[in-house]
Amino acid sequence: MKKPFLLLFAVLCLQTVSAQKEAVTIAIKNDASAPTINKNIYGHFAEHLGHCIYGGFFVGDTSKIPNTNGVRNDIVQALKDLKIPNLRWPGGCFADTYHWKDGIGPKEQRPTIVNQWWGGVTEDNSFGTHDFLNMCELLGAEPYLSGNVGSGTVQELADWVQYANFGGKSPMSDLRRKNGRTEPWKVKYWGIGNEAWGCGGNMTADYYADEYKKFATFMSDWGNTGGITRIASGANSSDYNWTEVLMKNIPLSMLGGVGVHHYAVINWEKKGSDVDFTEKEYFLTMQSALKMEELVTKHAAVMDKYDPEKKVAMIVDEWGGWYDVQKGTNPGFLYQQNTMRDAVLAGATLNIFNNHADRVRMANLAQCVNVLQAVILTDKAKMITTPTYHVMKMYSVHQDAKLLPVDFKSPLYTFDGKSIPAVSASVSKDQKGLVHISLVNVDAVNKNKIEIDVKDLGVKNFTGSIITSSKLQDYNSFENPNKIVPVAFKGFENKKGKLEITLPPYSVLVLEGK
């Protein structure tokens, strides 16, 4: 009886090995009707939260840390290298307690504010409208201002638009000139409230839709070239009814974009460690992150009912991984480290946005510096970039490139009886004719083999960069800032127009064909 059993066992083992070696075939479509990937998908978010602004971006002009008008030069350079297209400010929940006039004029005369949402700290308003908009000019990034609907007034927001955008003579443009800025900044993107369903006022969708229309009515474009884009406070994750009500009740002429917020969270009560996590916690985080595919698809379907021409953008203006804060730090400051888990999460999420570029035309990673899934961390004069930074820098090649749709059936990454797709991919072709293929292996244990037919793409020679590490829990520290950086990737062959690629576990890869 033993020999037949051993033979059967051997056959099963061989079948398993064979199945593991079977390559995933990815078909790339050269579709002339495919959309362009809007560069604004690669946007960021800076809230008055913890050390994102104060102690992050802004150190003050008397600091010994090299700065321009108080803004750190090293952060500016790092974000310029990242090709940051836009930056959202001042929140977040903070936005609906922020009164912009408190942050203009002589700094010594500005009133203080207690940040009731994040740590109860007192802020002196030394970083305000001029500081932020001038910083965006340094960055070469479009500002995205979140207006106060929760505790503000229609007049207050209308005045802010006039202050920022009107070049003629008016009370607000005269005030701007008095405060040292002659020419308007011509801010295009304006959010009308934030998370109106929660910290922005605990409103119902119907009530907020009426509030939105009221505020939007009085937000004139003040001669801004191309007009302003008004963005509605969108749904919390899978609240499709919220999107339905907004699309149904708000005239499309008033609606430039509708937001969606989704964080990859295991459990809101116990989110788990940022660095000391298990494979189970990794799996659950990625399961939550990959839900973005379903969310974008279903919210888009709702929007399509009322806007079949896709004039209104879906704007995922808050996304990223959210864990328990780093041990020993202020719970209200949301400071967490950034590991290979975050690199994989970022790569897979950005692939989803790229593939839905017909509707998703802006997104904002939460947040830029020292908060949640940050791309930059600081410690006094020290500054480091995170694995997420390097993924977004590698993926910047997709900005404003033509999407090349992909078709494939992903193998599964299975843990504890549950499964999620193991392979994520997106492809684009830029104006120079370069093709970029971004691939992510979500699987924490197994390699995955990929085959891609590239004969019809008009490119022959490929090079690659990859981000991976020896452990999922690895991260860049101030002591070892370059532990995780992109390195040249050689694990592929181009055999007569067919790329054969072996993706290591938990890795992010970008190939360039020319």
Exactly one of 47, 142, 211, 318 is catalytic; which is it? 318
Nearest-CA neighbor of 325 among 262, 274, 380? Answer: 274
Q: What is the DSSP string of 154-171?
A: HHHHHHHHHHHH--SS-H
Nearest-CA neighbor of 337 among 308, 295, 379? Answer: 379
In one-letter notation, the amino acid at residue 261 is: H
Crossing angle of helices 129-139 and 154-165, in 10° steps, is: 40
Q: Output the six-digit token pair for 180.
A: 């040292």
Q: Output the six-digit token pair for 420.
A: 């999620």
| Rounded-to-integer distance, Cα 282 and Cα 425, Å | 20
Active site residue 195: yes
| Rounded-to-integer distance, Cα 207 and Cα 56, Å | 37
Q: DSSP E strands: which ranges in 322-390? A: 360-365, 376-379, 382-385
| Residue 486, preceding peptide bond in cis (omega within 30° of 0) | no
Nearest-CA neighbor of 429 among 393, 464, 405? Answer: 405
| Rounded-to-integer distance, Cα 333 and Cα 357, Å | 33
- Spatial contact of 312 and 247, defined as CB atoms under 8 Å apart: yes
Nearest-CA neighbor of 142 among 223, 65, 73, 226? Answer: 226
Q: DSSP E strands: which ranges in 6-66? A: 24-28, 43-45
Active site residue 318: yes
Exactly one of 47, 123, 142, 195 is catalytic; which is it? 195
Q: Would you give the DSSP letter of residue 111?
A: P
The catalytic residue positions are 195, 318
